[in-house]
Structure 1
């Protein structure tokens, strides 16, 4: 009896109880078996068999759990509880939510966060005196969960997994492992840091059509294959989950029929999507850049699924489109309505918009700063609406190079768009094209018809044109010593009753196949080429003075040429025109000029 506390004899005993409790207020362990061991002031209690009924989720197998007091006679007696438990996931989480733990309440998530089975192991250390000082309880738990399903880890999304791991300590609770999110594969981690609101999901994902469907995000494009990506979802109580998705797009093929762009699976790019997983989902920022395409914008999903609106503040596409674009959904299964505002578009790319190349185009509205018909001819302040039936067609109003007001029509021929432009003042047209300093005229028509894969055949006609200031024409007349007409061009002007031209527009420039300007005092014919790549001119022509008399023998000559006319050439560049004339050619009748006339140069091909 007088033995000192430190000299207690070792003791060991086994028990079989109907119920025991290893740590209040944890649930009773029922139908239990175990042992008690006391050695040198150390107390150990172990459970070899027993089940505890959790507050939620049914029984837990507690075999293997132990309770230890390392020094029962020390100045500050503390205990360690080592838990081993197996049961349902809700049962496991409900135990972790009991005092002194309260992990799930601290994380603001329910104990039925997920369904499945779990095996848990962990430890808790705590003092055996009351009150317990703040921070005196320490713990760490881990669990392996199997056959997991959850609609709450990512609210509104169905998550499944064959196996997930759980880690809990004083700083955080986390769940991680391979999952399927609404059928899309990912390797994810959900984590809540104690003391902060909300939680976060981070995942390595396969960016694919399956993932976009899982997130209920409708992009104005189709995909095949998959690219590695990173998904982050921030879950804040009382608000829709916010997400961000990034990828380099390697391995993902993209077809954006809404604006005629494609990317192969082998090429890389940059995709950044941020928004909320609300109902419906919203995309507050979308960035997509890849070879030939750069866009920035926002997306709004429609109630019941599908795209309500895609608004791109900037879209640059293959060098022919630089504008702001809005795509508006017209209901499931119907093509998108396309609207462009500001910026510039080239005629050659128009057939790509809205899915016109696939035959699944919607209406198109253009409100553009610039619409480039070809190099050197730009329609400004263009406003038009176009119907996709059989390819885009419709009418528009605009100005040419910011000058003369025109009306026009776009039409489709052989799968490409052509254009016809009409105006009321041919003189103002010459000024807008910087071909004349001062001129007046009556109506004009310019028509461009698609020819082949990239060329256009053009026709131009004008009536009642009076030229008051044309430096190049003045140089020709001066070289021909046509003094009366030189004085006339600087006075009342030179009058042409008719002006007609046929030309070809190619990617490298313009070839003037034939042209004639005819008036009572002067007739001019001209052909040649202009290279838009380097602004080089190469033209040849004939000027015929006193055309109302000289043109009587026109049957022997070309339109615009009289029986007698002086040949001339225009060379140099657009900024420095070089005029050369042959006055002696006036002595040669028209039929001889035709013999020595050289073919029209094709500088557009030579410079390409």
Structure 2
């Protein structure tokens, strides 16, 4: 005669605060779990440990999630998360939510433990960048983002196509420091168009580490790596700025992605809202393959 078991308050460590309902679905059939509340995955990599997931011979429990907040780092979360795992967590399933309470995304979860993967897509890449706090004004574009747990937060890879960037103080400072005519006006007007933006990074509770990134468009190409401290709101980035990339990029086979044959080595340091840009003029006369002498080694990716 059991119909359901209701736990009006369920806490697990410091990562789950919510409620749970187990629903009876018939004799010999696993109960279905309805889970609501807030889920904190900032330390998931450490919680999952280094062991591979063990084989489970029990029948999988179907599960539905209705979360108010899914925390990934101190400054990045998903709100209004909905997910259904009809074959159990190990089989994965689809989910959806809103980036920091803003633009909506869809995703697919697969694997478990350290083998967990979150694959996220959005038809408003600019909105995702804006709501995640990475760019104040960006519009359009499609995004594909893959996240995997790491002992220090989450490792990610991102690919964005056809996005336009406006009002980016850091880029504006770089263009001004490099004395590039015309592009600052584009940035203040209809924006600078990038056909592709790619990157590999790590996010943990406070530090956003960019291992490698590039942005490529007909008028501008960029490569960048470094660190953003989200708690102190400071950044320390380096890269190469290549104007007129449509022509300049013909020699990019000898350089990193996003760098043309001719480019300026740059650094961006200081406050996140008003960083100080510095451009090395000597790097303009250095062939792309020899630019490494003007910059430090990029962050090491594990």
TM-score normalised according to structure 1 size: 0.44
Q: Describe the shift of the 1:317–1:578 C-alpha distance in structure 2 as closer, same or farther (beyond 3 A).
A: farther
Q: Describe the shift of the 1:576–1:362 C-alpha distance in structure 2 as closer, same or farther (beyond 3 A).
A: farther
Q: Is the 8 A contact 2:95 2:106 kept in 1?
A: yes
The answer to whether structure 1 residue 554 and structure 2 residue 252 are counterparts is yes
1:532-554 deviation digits (Å, cap 9, x = unpaired): 55444222111111111111111
For residue 455 of structure 1, report the CA deviation from its aligned partner. Answer: 4.9
Q: Is the 8 A contact 2:283 2:294 kept in 1?
A: no
Task: State the distance in 1 between where 2:141 and 2:294 align.
Answer: 35
Alignment of 1:50-199 (within 5 A): none
Task: Choose which of 68, 72, 89 in structure 2 pairs with 1:373.
Answer: 72
Runs of 4+ in 1 over 6 A off after TM superposition: none
**Aligned counterpart, 1:430:** 129
1:553-593 deviation digits (Å, cap 9, x = unpaired): 11111110111211222223445534333234223221221
The answer to whether structure 1 residue 446 and structure 2 residue 145 are counterparts is yes
Alignment of 1:4-403 (within 5 A): 302-303=1-2, 308-312=4-8, 314-330=9-25, 335-346=30-41, 349=44, 359=56, 361-387=60-86, 389=88, 391=90, 393-403=92-102
For residue 336 of structure 1, report the CA deviation from its aligned partner. Answer: 4.2
Q: Helix, strand or coil: the match of 1:544?
A: strand
For residue 467 of structure 1, report the CA deviation from its aligned partner. Answer: 0.8
For residue 322 of structure 1, report the CA deviation from its aligned partner. Answer: 2.3
For residue 523 of structure 1, report the CA deviation from its aligned partner. Answer: 0.3
For residue 474 of structure 1, report the CA deviation from its aligned partner. Answer: 1.1
**Aligned counterpart, 1:411:** 110
Number of residue-to-residue matches in the alignment? 295
Task: Choose which of 275, 285, 298 in structure 2 pairs with 1:587.
Answer: 285
1:463-510 deviation digits (Å, cap 9, x = unpaired): 111112211211111111223110110011101011111123456633
Task: State the distance in 1 between where 2:299 and 2:172 align.
Answer: 24
Task: State the distance in 2 between where 1:328 and 1:552 align.
Answer: 62
Q: Describe the shift of the 1:597–1:387 C-alpha distance in structure 2 as closer, same or farther (beyond 3 A).
A: farther
Q: Describe the shift of the 1:390–1:380 C-alpha distance in structure 2 as closer, same or farther (beyond 3 A).
A: closer
1:519-538 deviation digits (Å, cap 9, x = unpaired): 01000101112345544422
For residue 387 of structure 1, report the CA deviation from its aligned partner. Answer: 4.0
Q: Helix, strand or coil: the match of 1:374?
A: coil
TM-score normalised according to structure 2 size: 0.85
> RMSD between aligned alpha carbons?
3.0
For residue 389 of structure 1, report the CA deviation from its aligned partner. Answer: 4.6
Q: Helix, strand or coil: the match of 2:70?
A: strand
Q: Helix, strand or coil: the match of 1:431?
A: helix
**Aligned counterpart, 1:599:** 297
- Look at both structures and tell me which one has the larger radius of gyration over its CA atoms: 1
Q: Is the 8 A contact 2:263 2:284 kept in 1?
A: yes
For residue 448 of structure 1, report the CA deviation from its aligned partner. Answer: 1.1
Task: State the distance in 2 between where 1:590 and 1:529 align.
Answer: 23
For residue 344 of structure 1, report the CA deviation from its aligned partner. Answer: 3.9
1:244-287 deviation digits (Å, cap 9, x = unpaired): xxxxxxxxxxxxxxxxxxxxxxxxxxxxxxxxxxxxxxxxxxxx
Structure of greater relative contact order (alpha carbons < 8 Å, 6+ residues apart): 2
For residue 376 of structure 1, report the CA deviation from its aligned partner. Answer: 3.0
Task: Choose which of 444, 461, 486 in structure 1 pairs with 2:184.
Answer: 486
**Aligned counterpart, 1:538:** 236
Q: Describe the shift of the 1:333–1:375 C-alpha distance in structure 2 as closer, same or farther (beyond 3 A).
A: farther
Q: What residue ranges of structure 2 are gaps of 5+ in the alignment?
A: none
For residue 454 of structure 1, report the CA deviation from its aligned partner. Answer: 5.5
Bigger proportion of residues as helix:
2
Q: Helix, strand or coil: the match of 1:434?
A: coil
Task: State the distance in 1 between where 2:62 and 2:234 align.
Answer: 40
Task: State the distance in 1 between where 2:98 and 2:247 align.
Answer: 39
For residue 414 of structure 1, report the CA deviation from its aligned partner. Answer: 5.7
